[in-house]
Amino acid sequence: MGYEDNTISIKVKQRFQPKFNIKKGDNVVVIAGDDRDRTAPRKVLAVYPQKSRVLIEGVNMVTKHLKPNAQNPQGGIVQEEAPIHISNVMLWDAKEKAAVRIKRERKEGNFVRISKKSGEEVK
């Protein structure tokens, strides 16, 4: 229990680390929600596997009100991305120019992601 900062931290034990087919730097399309667009690929900025969420460039923009501080003496209002659930995105295959599902195969001891539409490895 962490009493240093006057808060109690509760650890939730995870049985396993979830594995997702989407990684940081991938191009994805948003298939559900307010920012749905199956034709425009967007870049993944971060993946949060324990929360099953991804941060995508230009999607789910929220307004943050910043108090003045040393780095930002003016303060102000900032627009930034918020995470969305990973089930609302699909990987984009540049060759097929479409959203694709993925299968994972083992090659040389590592897993590679293979597009189910084109059968090619996804980089």
Indicate whether 15 pLDDT > 90: no
Tell me the residue type at 123.
K
Q: What is the pLDDT of residues 47-75, one digit of tens each?
A: 999 999 999 999 999 999 999 999 989 99
22: tokens are: 């989407």
pTM for the whole thing? 0.78
| Interatomic CA distance for residues 71 and 69, integer angstroms | 6
In the chain, pLDDT over 90 holds for what percent of residues? Answer: 76
- Segments making up each domain of the chain, as ranges: 27-115
Would you place residue 19 in the very low, low, confident or very high pLDDT band (cuts 50, 70, 90)? confident
Cβ within 8 Å of residue 47, ≥6 positions away: 20, 22, 23, 24, 53, 54, 55, 86
SS3 of residue 20 by DSSP: coil
Cα dihedral across residues 61, 29, 24, 103: positive or negative: positive
Buried b (16+ CB within 10 A) or exposed e, 32-62: eeeeeeeeebbebeebeeeeebbbbeebbee
Q: What is the pLDDT of residues 34-43, one digit of tens each?
A: 999 999 999 9
Q: What single-letter DSSP state applies at residue 47?
A: E
- Candidates 3.30.70.1450, 2.30.30.30, 3.40.640.10, 2.40.50.140; correct CATH number of 27-115? 2.30.30.30
φ, ψ (nearest 5 deg) of residue 35:
-95, 25
Contact 28, 56 (CB under 8 A): yes
